[in-house]
Structure 1
């Protein structure tokens, strides 16, 4: 199943490739696979133990990054809001309308902090819902 990333070209493709590299390096427990996130049917999902953890998609206004870690941890959300310039925040989602204004090094630092969070309570919560 192809993802939105397969259709990108030029600087946008380079930007998404950089995001993917950072996500994979920061959180080796999260495995990348094509999937759906809300209305984006061709997204890239990052799951840990069959539980959605992160996602990348292309929306109407740019690239979106979804994070259950941020959704479940206010301190990670606060860190992102204070350090990730060029992004618009929602509860568990970051909208990146202009990749040139987004600091990839700050994203890498934020992803490293996110990956250190104990995700097992979220995994357990959704495991119980699947039973």
Structure 2
């Protein structure tokens, strides 16, 4: 399924917001490529950086979710955006939201811009090296 077809298959009141968030991710983080694929038992838009998953964008029955792996690995990013997106529901590495009021696009742009600077593979490699030295 194409990205366009995935977004078009979602409820009409969510399509514009999903499309706008997708466009922000592609524009602000040139390291990722997007595909529609299953993850956690449902189809979603998966954004892969070289060698790793970086973001996911999904729509389920009662809300939409933006999965943000760089945020999962950074308490600083997590706390910053949890403070800025007060009406959204935060999990470890994802943000659940129902509408644009809970997920303002200017904040999404800043979040993705911050995350685009993070090389997840380099972080993982550094983490593994520090474990092997112990």
Q: Shorter-normalised TM-score: what interval?
A: 0.7 to 0.9
Change (3 A) 1:102 1:85: farther
Normalised TM-score (structure 1): 0.83
Name the counterpart of 2:15: 13
* Partner residue, 1:116: 117
Which 5+ residue runs of structure 1 have no aligned equivalent? 126-131
Deviation (angstroms), 1:97? 2.0
Structure (1 or 2) with the larger CA radius of gyration: 2
Q: CA deviation at 1:61?
A: 1.9
The answer to whether the 8 Å contact 1:85/1:103 transfers is no
Counterpart position of 1:36: 38
Q: Please give the per-residue CA displacement for 1:70-115, whole angstroms capped at 9, x wherever unaligned.
A: 1111111111101124310000011012334321111111111111
1:75 aligns with 2:52: no
Shift, 1:49, TM fit: 1.1
Gaps in structure 2 of 5+ consecutive residues: 127-134
The CA deviation at 1:17 is 0.6
**Paired residues, what number?**
124
The residue that corresponds to 2:106 in the other structure is 105
Q: Secondary structure at the match of 1:99?
A: coil
What TM-score do you get using the length of structure 2 for normalisation? Answer: 0.81
Counterpart of 1:90? 91
- Counterparts of 2:109 and 2:25 in 1: how far apart (Å)? 8
Please provide the CA RMSD for this pair: 2.0
The Cα of 1:122 is off from its aligned counterpart by 5.0
**1:49–1:123 Cα contact (<8 Å) kept:** no
Structure-2 separation of matches of 1:103 and 1:14: 13
